[in-house]
């Protein structure tokens, strides 16, 4: 195998491809689309973050503006958690449009994360959204197929292949050279997109909004690079094994349809079919039932709380709860919150496990489908995937729990034990400085180490696919026929 | 007639045709199963609600019989968006929007947008329902069957023969396409028939409109194919061009429109409404009780007879505060409603020009799974909520016990939407699109 020959094939491929007028038309359209996508992505990122930031501030202001009052009123006043729009979401929208961004945090209950883009959209949202990631994942492979399908098959059809091989070039040199030529052309598409994104990220001032933003960015870039290698080799191999350019094109289009439209959709649909999500009511009533069994703090005759009361009274050696050194009603609520939160978490975890099982079908399918692999890598590292969303939900719920318990403890400590129940009025109140002393919710982005853990199987699959593609290239070079 | 049989034989001679027809039938059947499963889950959810409501109310009565105000603080009433069997064909927005609402008589705005349990990955990948098969895959089949109808004759050299022998070259091409059209429509009708029996769909005008629309959609793609193939370019070129059209129409244009709409019309009003309704209610704990009650009576003068109790906690004041959550966020709520309708109108207007987006919207509408129908359902839920409030307010304010009320009347209620199908409006844009393309082809037809 001679390097000179490989270079010759690569250069020749490049020259042939860039000689066509259609090539420039295609290139122009792609760059325009990429420009549109990035402008949209950046603007959307800025608008969304401004909206969420503004409302986080507004919600906080009205929290702090509360006068002196009973702390339990504050745990019902509650607060909002707004999910930040991650910086790389302007590149890959991922699940962004389908995940809610606002959650109301209050005592006693876990509310749903509301106001996703999808709830305010017509059914046409399911056609997808134009992002840079969509262009790289869906459109660029198609362009590579269009440019690369005749590479070997046309040479075979018009007889050039015979001449080349008889003049001393080897199949291996030919296939490697053409693959490299095609890869170079795909880079011609890929590099401007990435440069554009780099500039946007540098000029934008929210690098701190992600954990290890640049590492994520570089890994995403490398992921796409590997992906383009796989697609280029695949194209050349298919072209080399097809009898005519037309057959090569049809096969490649079939691959595109199967791997980019049908398989991903079927994988997720099957996951949903095999592991059905319970209805909201079934989910909630299962929790409600267990809460009642373990102890319902809202039921005055509940045995768990009767027992608790007796033991607390005995421990403090008093007859009435009003004689205790702390506010008993706050104590009961703290206990109630503890029980119901633990139960909620248990059930919620089970629910999330169902979701994970559904998604695992897609995750596993990345081992047979490199297109799914890059999609998962890109989305996970861009923080627009399922795990990032769950991370937000968990952090918001932790904060909610803290809020409720802090208020219950304030009640135990500062509200007179004589005030057995009720939180109305201006008598049993605490100072409003307690409100601002309780930290606001701030959405901490998901840790890089967590993202990489989730993305690992998909990254591994990309690596394996690269090896498979290379081995396949070598095998093809041994078996290929000139005629 | 004989020529048609020959055309049919010529068409189904190739292995690829059989494979692709078989593939789409299998995918169609899978899609019908998925749709059916969706319907079954919804039905199960409705059955669960019916069962739950009774035990839930009984439990609340047992706990809080003496305190009606507290009882209604906890009690949830169900309002169900009745399921259209066509929803199995076009799942639409029913996977993200709940079809059951369980509401208390407290602030409605706080409960309006509560979501179901959903896995965002499922939403993003979209549903593999029959509407997907029709909208995405049938056009591909049209392309596969028709891209070489003319070029294969020119490439094998038989076109000259046809040119001499056929009475009309146009009729020759159209009859060849017609055979393929009949073949595809048969598969389509077969799938609709399977769907009808699997999902027990009655023969309503909506169902028929759906079939008619799907057929029009296939006609549109044949028209597009016709336009391309009569230019007598090579098979490879035709395939490439038609597939590019598919890519642009089904992926790029809709994706561009979606990005445009979400960027042009962000919905900060949703967040503002959420904060406004919270503040509207909660701040009243610290403000003058008389003022709150007076504001409440301004909304409901009929309750003024219950006076102005301001001593300590009382339910009249409490529910007046809850009412303020809705009343004080009215401005934000109306802005939000306006924005959502605006988004919908814009996206509808843009979609009407793109046949595949249009058909998706109409499919959803016929199945009762569109966004506007969800909004109507939410509006109806608000009325249901209002009805409950007006029913319970006097009894609560009079301090009565729970047993004065006949609770058996509170079974889940159903929302029924009556929207007549306007045939002309449904099919016309699709026919116009096909006609338009046909008109574009006329200059080429002359040159055949």
The 3-state secondary structure of B307-329 reads: CCCCCCCCHHHHHHHHHHHHHCC
What residues contact A80, with CB distance under 8 A and at least 6 apart? Answer: A55, A56, A59, A102, A103, A104, A105, A441, B271, B274, B275, B278
Contact across the interface for B121 and A253, Cβ inside 8 Å = no
Contact across the interface for A359 and B121, Cβ inside 8 Å = yes
CA of B157 vs chain A CAs: smallest distance (Å): 18
Note the pLDDT of residue A482.
78
Q: pLDDT tens digit string along B245-303? A: 999 999 999 999 999 999 999 999 999 999 999 999 999 999 999 999 999 999 999 99
Note the pLDDT of residue A468.
96
> Cβ-count burial of A481 within 10 angstroms (0-12 exposed, 13-18 middle, 19+ buried)?
exposed
Q: pLDDT tens digit string along A349-403? A: 999 999 999 999 999 999 999 999 999 999 999 999 999 999 999 999 999 999 9
What's the mean pLDDT in A122-149? 93
Outline where A327-385 has alpha helix (H).
Answer: 328-365, 370-381
Residue A43 is nearest to which of B254, B263, B282, comparing CB atoms? B263
Note the pLDDT of residue A297.
76
CA of B286 vs chain A CAs: smallest distance (Å): 8
- Residues in chain B closer than 8 A to A267 (CB atoms): 125
Chain A segment 400-419 residues within 8 A of B by beta carbon are none
Query: Scanning every residue of chain B, which has its alpha carbon at the shortest distance from the alpha carbon of A359?
Result: B121
Residue A411: C-alpha distances to residues A329, A408, B159, B373 (Å):
8, 5, 92, 46
CB proximity A160 to B under 8 Å? no
Which range (A184-188, A297-301, A409-413, B420-424) has the least confidence?
Answer: A297-301
Q: Which of B138, B252, B222 is nearest to A143 (CA)?
A: B252
- Residues in chain A closer than 8 A to B52 (CB atoms): 281, 285
- DSSP H/E element including B101: strand B100-103
Cβ distance B376 to B417 under 8 Å?
Answer: yes
The mean of the pLDDT values for chain B is: 92
CB proximity B123 to A under 8 Å? yes
What is the DSSP code string of A459-471?
HHHHHHHHHHHHH
Contact across the interface for A250 and B118, Cβ inside 8 Å = no
CB proximity A102 to B under 8 Å? yes
Higher pLDDT, B179 or A482: B179
Query: Scanning every residue of chain B, which has its alpha carbon at the shortest distance from the alpha carbon of A286?
Result: B52
Note the pLDDT of residue B419.
74
Q: Within chain A, what is the greatest distance between any pair of CA atoms?
A: 106
Of the pLDDT bands very low, low, confident and very high (cuts 50, 70, 90), residue B161 is confident
Cβ distance B345 to B318 under 8 Å?
Answer: no
The mean of the pLDDT values for chain A is: 93
Q: How far apart are CA A246 and CA A253, in angstroms?
A: 11
What's the mean pLDDT in A139-155? 92
What is the DSSP code string of B407-431?
GGG-PPEEE-------HHHHHHHHH
Contact across the interface for B236 and A245, Cβ inside 8 Å = yes
Q: How far apart are CA B56 and CA B50, in angstroms?
A: 10
Which range (A47-51, B150-154, B326-330, B418-422) has the least confidence?
Answer: B418-422
Cβ distance B127 to A269 under 8 Å?
Answer: yes
Cβ distance A91 to A45 under 8 Å?
Answer: no
Beta bridge partners of B80: B100, B414
CB proximity B286 to A under 8 Å? yes
Q: Which of B95, B88, B367, B19 is nearest to A268 (CA)?
A: B95
Chain A segment 161-200 residues within 8 A of B by beta carbon are none
Q: pLDDT tens digit string along A3-43? A: 899 999 999 999 998 888 888 988 999 999 999 999 999 99
Of the pLDDT bands very low, low, confident and very high (cuts 50, 70, 90), residue A207 is low
Note the pLDDT of residue B363.
95
Percent over 70 (pLDDT), chain B: 100
Q: How far apart are CA B153 and CA B173, in angstroms?
A: 11
pLDDT at A1 over 80: no
pLDDT at B375 over 80: yes
Query: Scanning every residue of chain A, which has its alpha carbon at the shortest distance from the alpha carbon of B119?
Result: A355
Q: How far apart are CA B287 and CA B285, in angstroms?
A: 6
Chain B segment 340-369 residues within 8 A of A by beta carbon are 340, 343-344, 347-348, 351, 356-357, 360-361, 364, 369
Contact across the interface for A52 and B63, Cβ inside 8 Å = no
Cβ distance B74 to B104 under 8 Å?
Answer: yes
Q: Return the structure tokens found at A264.
A: 């991903």
Q: pLDDT tens digit string along B288-315? A: 999 999 999 999 999 999 999 988 899 9
Residue B152: C-alpha distances to residues A110, B82, B339 (Å):
64, 52, 53
Residues shown for chain B: 448
ipTM: 0.92
Residue B52 is nearest to which of A266, A285, A425, comparing CB atoms? A285
- Residues in chain B closer than 8 A to A67 (CB atoms): 286
What's the mean pLDDT in A456-475? 96
Beta bridge partners of A206: none
Note the pLDDT of residue A253.
87
CA of B396 vs chain A CAs: smallest distance (Å): 19
- The single residue listed with the structure tokens 């146009």 is B170
Contact across the interface for B250 and A279, Cβ inside 8 Å = no
Q: How far apart are CA A246 and CA A264, in angstroms?
A: 26
Question: How many other β-carbons are positioned within 10 Å of the β-carbon of residue A444?
Answer: 11
Chain A segment 12-41 residues within 8 A of B by beta carbon are 33, 36-37, 40
Q: How far apart are CA A411 and CA A135, in angstroms?
A: 56
Cβ distance A186 to A140 under 8 Å?
Answer: yes
Which range (A253-257, A443-447, B157-161) has the least confidence?
Answer: B157-161
Q: pLDDT tens digit string along B11-52? A: 777 777 888 899 999 999 999 999 999 999 999 999 999 999
Q: How far apart are the first and last CA of chain A?
A: 22
Q: How far apart are the first and last CA of chain B?
A: 24
Note the pLDDT of residue A20.
84
Residue A246: C-alpha distances to residues A413, B177, B236, B237 (Å):
81, 22, 6, 9
Q: Which of B366, B362, B120, B139 is nearest to B251 (CA)?
A: B139
Q: Which of B191, B332, B139 is nearest to A261 (CA)?
A: B139
Helix, strand or coil, per DSSP, at residue A61? helix
Q: How far apart are CA B213 and CA B219, in angstroms?
A: 10
Cβ distance A231 to A183 under 8 Å?
Answer: no
What residues contact A236, with CB distance under 8 A and at least 6 apart? Answer: A148, A151, A152, A175, A178, A179, A182, A473
Chain B segment 55-94 residues within 8 A of A by beta carbon are 63, 74, 90, 92-93
Best mutation target, A64, A68, A124, A280, to test chain B (most B CBs within 10 A) = A124
pLDDT at B448 over 80: no
What is the DSSP code string of B157-171?
T-HHHHHHHSS-HHH
Of the pLDDT bands very low, low, confident and very high (cuts 50, 70, 90), residue B426 is confident
Q: How far apart are CA A472 and CA B294, in angstroms?
A: 81
DSSP conformational letter for B251: I
> Cβ-count burial of B105 within 10 angstroms (0-12 exposed, 13-18 middle, 19+ buried)?
buried
How do the domains of chain A map onto residue ranges?
Answer: 3-479
Q: Within chain B, what is the greatest distance between any pair of CA atoms?
A: 102
Q: How far apart are CA A230 and CA A224, in angstroms?
A: 10
Best mutation target, A52, A54, A122, A132, to test chain B (most B CBs within 10 A) = A122
Note the pLDDT of residue B201.
94
What residues contact A375, with CB distance under 8 A and at least 6 apart? Answer: A133, A137, A264
pLDDT at B376 over 70: yes
Q: Which of A338, A335, A343 is nearest to A401 (CA)?
A: A338
What's the mean pLDDT in B304-332? 93
CB proximity A360 to B under 8 Å? no
Contact across the interface for A122 and B239, Cβ inside 8 Å = no
Sheet containing B77-81: give its strands across: B100-103, B77-81, B413-415
CB proximity B371 to A under 8 Å? yes
Residue B121 is nearest to which of A97, A119, A386, comparing CB atoms? A386
Beta bridge partners of A114: A102
How many CA atoms does the CB half-sphere of B268 hold within 13 Å? 15
Contact across the interface for A114 and B44, Cβ inside 8 Å = no
């Amino acid at each position: 195998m001679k390097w000179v020959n490989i270079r010759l094939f690569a250069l020749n491929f490049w020259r042939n491809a860039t000689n066509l007028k259609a090539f420039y038309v295609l290139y122009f359209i792609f760059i325009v689309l990429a420009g549109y996508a990035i402008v949209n992505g950046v603007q959307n990122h800025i608008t969304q973050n401004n909206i969420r930031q503004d409302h986080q501030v507004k919600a906080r202001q009205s929290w702090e503006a509360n006068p002196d009052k009973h702390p339990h009123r504050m745990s019902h006043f509650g607060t909002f958690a707004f999910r930040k729009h991650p910086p790389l979401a302007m590149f890959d929208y991922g699940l962004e449009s389908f995940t809610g961004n606002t959650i109301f945090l209050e005592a006693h209950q876990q509310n749903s994360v509301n106001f996703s883009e999808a709830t305010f959209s017509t059914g046409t949202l399911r056609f997808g959204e134009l992002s840079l990631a969509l262009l790289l994942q869906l459109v660029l492979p198609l362009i590579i197929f269009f440019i690369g399908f005749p590479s070997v098959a046309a040479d075979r059809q018009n007889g050039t292949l015979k001449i080349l091989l008889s003049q001393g070039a080897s199949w291996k040199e030919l296939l490697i050279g053409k693959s490299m030529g095609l890869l170079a052309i795909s880079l011609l598409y890929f590099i401007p997109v990435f440069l554009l994104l780099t500039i946007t990220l540098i000029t934008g001032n929210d690098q701190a909004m992600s954990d290890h933003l640049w590492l994520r960015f570089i890994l995403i870039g490398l992921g796409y690079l590997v992906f383009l290698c796989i697609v280029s080799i695949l194209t050349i191999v298919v072209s080399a094994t097809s009898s005519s350019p037309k057959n090569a094109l049809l096969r490649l289009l079939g691959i595109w349809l199967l791997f980019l439209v049908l398989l991903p959709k079927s994988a997720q649909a099957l996951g949903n079919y095999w592991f059905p999500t319970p209805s909201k009511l079934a989910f909630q009533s299962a929790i409600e039932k267990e809460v009642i069994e373990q102890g319902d703090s809202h039921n005055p005759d509940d045995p768990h709380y009767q027992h608790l009361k007796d033991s607390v009274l005995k421990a403090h050696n008093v007859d009435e709860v009003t004689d205790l050194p702390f506010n008993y009603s706050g104590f009961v609520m703290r206990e109630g919150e503890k029980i119901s939160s633990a139960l909620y978490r248990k059930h919620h975890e089970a629910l999330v496990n169902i979701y994970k099982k559904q998604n695992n079908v897609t995750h596993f399918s990345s081992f047979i489908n490199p297109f799914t692999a890059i999609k998962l890598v890109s989305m996970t590292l861009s923080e627009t995937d399922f795990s990032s969303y769950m991370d937000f939900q968990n952090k918001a719920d932790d904060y909610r729990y803290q809020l409720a318990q802090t208020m219950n403890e304030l009640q135990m400590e500062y509200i007179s034990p004589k005030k057995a129940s009720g939180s109305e009025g201006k008598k049993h109140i605490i100072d409003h400085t307690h409100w601002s002393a309780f930290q606001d919710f701030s959405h901490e982005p998901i840790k890089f180490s967590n993202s990489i853990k989730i993305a690992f199987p998909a990254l591994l699959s990309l690596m394996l696919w690269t090896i498979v593609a290379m081995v396949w290239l070598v095998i093809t070079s041994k078996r290929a026929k000139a005629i | 007639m004989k020529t048609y049989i020959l055309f049919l034989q010529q068409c189904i001679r190739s292995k690829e045709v059989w494979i692709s027809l078989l593939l789409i039938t299998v995918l169609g059947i899978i899609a019908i199963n998925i749709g059916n499963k969706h319907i079954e889950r919804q039905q199960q959810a409705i059955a669960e609600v019916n069962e739950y409501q009774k035990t839930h109310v009984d439990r609340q009565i047992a706990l809080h019989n003496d305190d009606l105000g507290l009882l209604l603080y906890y009690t949830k009433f169900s309002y169900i968006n009745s399921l259209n069997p066509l929803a199995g064909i076009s799942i639409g927005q029913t996977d993200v929007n709940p079809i059951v609402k369980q509401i208390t008589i407290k602030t409605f705005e706080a409960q309006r947008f509560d979501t179901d349990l959903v896995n965002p990955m499922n939403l993003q990948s979209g549903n593999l329902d029959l509407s997907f098969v029709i909208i995405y895959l049938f056009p591909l089949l049209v392309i596969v069957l028709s891209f070489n109808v003319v070029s294969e004759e020119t490439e094998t050299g038989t076109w000259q023969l046809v040119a001499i022998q056929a009475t009309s070259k146009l009729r020759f091409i159209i009859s060849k396409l017609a055979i393929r059209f009949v073949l595809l429509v048969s598969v389509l009708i077969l799938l609709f028939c399977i769907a009808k029996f699997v999902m027990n769909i009655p023969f309503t005008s909506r169902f028929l409109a759906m079939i008619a629309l799907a057929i029009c959609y296939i006609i549109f793609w044949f028209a597009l194919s016709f336009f391309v193939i009569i230019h007598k370019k090579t098979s490879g070129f035709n395939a490439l061009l038609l597939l590019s059209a598919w890519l642009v129409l089904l992926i790029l244009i809709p994706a561009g429109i979606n990005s445009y709409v979400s960027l042009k019309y962000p919905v900060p009003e949703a967040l503002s409404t959420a904060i406004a309704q919270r503040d509207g209610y909660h701040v009243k704990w610290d403000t003058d009780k008389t003022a709150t009650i007076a504001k409440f009576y301004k909304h409901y003068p009929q309750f003024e007879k219950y006076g102005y109790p301001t001593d300590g906690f009382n339910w009249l004041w409490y529910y007046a505060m809850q009412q303020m959550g809705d009343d004080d966020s009215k401005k934000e709520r109306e802005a939000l409603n306006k924005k959502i309708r605006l988004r919908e109108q814009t996206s509808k207007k843009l979609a009407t020009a793109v046949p595949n987006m249009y058909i998706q919207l109409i499919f959803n509408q016929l199945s009762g799974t569109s966004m506007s129908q969800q909004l109507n359902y939410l509006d109806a839920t608000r009325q249901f909520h209002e009805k409950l409030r007006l029913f319970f307010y006097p009894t609560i304010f009079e301090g009565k016990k729970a047993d004065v009320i006949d609770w058996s009347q509170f079974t889940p209620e159903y929302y029924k939407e009556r929207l007549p199908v306007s045939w002309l409006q449904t099919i016309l844009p699709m026919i116009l699109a096909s006609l338009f393309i046909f008109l574009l082809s006329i200059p080429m037809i002359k040159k055949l």
